[in-house]
Chains A and B, each alone.
Chain A
Amino acid sequence: MAELTFTPVIGIEIHIRLKSDSKIFCSCSTNTDAPANTNICPVCMGLPGSLPHLNHRVVEQGMLAGLALNCGIRPKSLFFRKSYFYPDLPKGHQISQCDLPITTEGYIEVHDAEGNLKKIRVHHLHLEEDVGSLHHSASDGRLEGADTSYVDYNRSGTPLAEIVSEPDVASAAEAVEYVTTLRRRVIYSGASDVELEKGMMRFDANVSMKCSDGRWGHKVEVKNMNSFKALERAIEFEIKRQKKIMLSGGEVIQETRHWNDAKGVTTGSRLKEFYRKFIVEPDLPPLFISQEWIDRMKARMPEMPDVRANRYVNEMNLPREVADFITDDKNLADYFESCVKAGANPVRAAHWVRTEVLRVMNEKQLKIQNFMIKPEVLAGLVTRVEEGKLSTTQGKEVFDYMCSNNCSVDDAVNKLGITEGGVAGSALDEIIKSVLAANPDVLNEIKSGLDKKGKKLKFLQGLVMKESKGQAKPQEVAEAIAQAVK
């Protein structure tokens, strides 16, 4: 009997906090770090008589995020009330575009197991409001066993984009690449900063398994993942769990399961299932978006990070990993490109950015936007090293000096007493002469053929390099000394 094989079928739902100063339907601040329940008003608390008023910028952020996922923008979308009885949303319903979203279909490209590009289709992106945050009183932070829940509504009504994929994802690795690429694209679009540590991106995964014998397991919704690692581990766990059930002839139950990151398992949810019916939100007429508005948003879209990385590989000959690394942060990539535009060799500039610039950024806890050496200035330094006017070591010394003293390349070179172009010709001959004169014993040893391993010769080279303050080229020094001791 042929061995049974299983194909995971995975769809991913992502919630991303969109960037805005005020909430989606009221003028309360979106600052969720403020003291609990200070950014609340009758609208986001759902008090009788209050009316939602849609935030113009949130609509634009939704459009930008959608465009970043290759989605089209619908000329007409609509808000609904999604029945929701839970204390983190006091209205009893969530306002969401679930049924007639602002975008049409889109896609994100990832690599499959064979390394080929494949499209993960995005079903749509829609706008909705976030819910409040619940804090549980169990001392260890567990959800179970808590006696009381405390509610902070500062987050209630902050704007979200929900992004729903088609079930095109076939592995945990594809899922991670999908969410990573999606995140980078959304950040580039300016729609959100998507800071994971601030909970600005949350994932749910729908996982089911298709067996080679024709059986198709039920769909299981896995919730509670808020990091890429958690998403990867939760999917891997769920694939194994479902495969085991199906191999033993059992049936996977359709249910919602929660990922327990500490234990590394998914567990059946003990949450009650809600009635989640929709009605049209009567307080929000349809949202009409003109073609002119869409065109304006399209014009605001920057080159996407993966497209940019491909350009770096194809046009600038950067290794793929370096291109991916630099384009991961839009500001870093902007810095690198300014450096190249100012004349630096792209491969060398990328190396400097990735090593020296990042080192100092980390040491001094700086953002690239505030980096003390402007990209055009770095380009000058990189070019001088490339042209051999400064050795790599000297270049790094100059770079460090510039970082500490906020000065130009010329100033740093002068202050450090570096001779551009290095010590060579007659100046180098003078140094060698004086070193040989000061070490007659060593010279005799070499001349009498006792220095079989060339150690004494190396010793002299070292002395000459030291005398030249590292400004002589090692190769030239070696040749000149070999000549002088003949």
Chain B
Amino acid sequence: MKLTSEQVNDIALESRLLLTEQELAGATRYINNFLEILDSFKELDLTDVEPFSFAEVLECPLREDKVAAFPDAEAILHESEHVDGSYFKVPRIMEE
């Protein structure tokens, strides 16, 4: 499997990344090299092998349903430059 530079550019745009031509070529090459390594796994018979997700057998830790308000929610709001009152402001999100 290989990605075209257009596909990589689409993903970059969705991630709000503007890549120069050079960066795009580099990213496409990097991703395709990686995909090539993954492709080589196809040679193996993995029929009875469970997908590997975690290096250790861990159990998902659970917490009690208790509210503990974050002490400085306002600081998070003001991490953004685009704030109006208590709202985050983003450019129009609907396509015309």
Q: Is A112 in the interface zone, CB < 8 Å from B? A: no
Closest to A45 in B: B76
Q: Is A141 in the interface zone, CB < 8 Å from B? A: no
Rounded to whole Å, the gap between the CB of A280 and the closest CB of chain B is 4
Give every chain A residue within 8 A of B86 (Cβ-Cβ).
35-38, 152
Q: Beyond A144-B96, A151-B90, A152-B87, is A27–B67 a contact (Cβ under 8 Å)? A: yes
Closest to B7 in A: A275
Q: Is A367 in the interface zone, CB < 8 Å from B? A: no
Rounded to whole Å, the gap between the CB of A418 and the closest CB of chain B is 52
Q: Is A325 in the interface zone, CB < 8 Å from B? A: no
Q: Is B10 in the interface zone, CB < 8 Å from A? A: yes
- Report the separation of the CA atoms of residues A40 and B68 in the bound assembly, to the nearest whole angstrom: 11
Give every chain A residue within 8 A of B6 (Cβ-Cβ).
none
Closest to A47 in B: B76
Rounded to whole Å, the gap between the CB of B92 and the closest CB of chain A is 6
Q: Beyond A42-B70, A275-B10, A286-B54, is A87–B90 a contact (Cβ under 8 Å)? A: yes
- Report the separation of the CA atoms of residues A163 and B34 in the bound assembly, to the nearest whole angstrom: 36
Closest to A59 in B: B62
Rounded to whole Å, the gap between the CB of A153 and the closest CB of chain B is 7
Binding site secondary structure of chain A: loop
Size category of the B interface is 35 or more
Q: Which of A22, A148, A149 contacts B67 (CB 8 A)?
A: A22
Q: Which among A28, A55, A149 has the greatest number of chain B C-beta atoms within 10 A? A: A149
A53 & B76 in contact (Cβ 8 Å cutoff): no
Closest to A284 in B: B60
- Report the separation of the CA atoms of residues A286 and B85 in the bound assembly, to the nearest whole angstrom: 40
B91 & A56 in contact (Cβ 8 Å cutoff): no
A20 & B69 in contact (Cβ 8 Å cutoff): no
Query: What mask results when residues 16 to 34 of chain A are scored 1 for a CB within 8 Å of chain B, else 0?
Result: 0000111000011100000
A55 & B84 in contact (Cβ 8 Å cutoff): no
Give every chain A residue within 8 A of B90 (Cβ-Cβ).
87, 148-151
- Report the separation of the CA atoms of residues A86 and B16 in the bound assembly, to the nearest whole angstrom: 10
Query: What mask results when residues 74 to 104 of chain A are scored 1 for a CB within 8 Å of chain B, else 0?
Result: 0000110000011100001000000000000
Give every chain A residue within 8 A of B85 (Cβ-Cβ).
36
Chain A positions 347-361 with a Cβ under 8 Å from a chain B Cβ: none
B64 & A148 in contact (Cβ 8 Å cutoff): no
Q: Is A437 in the interface zone, CB < 8 Å from B? A: no
B76 & A39 in contact (Cβ 8 Å cutoff): no
Q: Is A271 in the interface zone, CB < 8 Å from B? A: yes
A148 & B96 in contact (Cβ 8 Å cutoff): no
Closest to B52 in A: A280
Closest to A148 in B: B89
**8 closest pairs, A vs B, by CB?**
A41-B70, A285-B58, A57-B65, A150-B87, A27-B68, A56-B62, A85-B14, A270-B95
Task: List residues of chain B with CB under 8 Å of any chain A CB.
Answer: 10-11, 14-16, 53-54, 58-70, 73, 76-77, 79, 84-96
Would you list 11 pairs from A and B whose C-beta atoms are within 8 A, ordered by A residue?
Answer: A35-B86, A36-B86, A41-B76, A47-B79, A54-B61, A78-B53, A86-B93, A148-B90, A280-B53, A285-B60, A286-B58
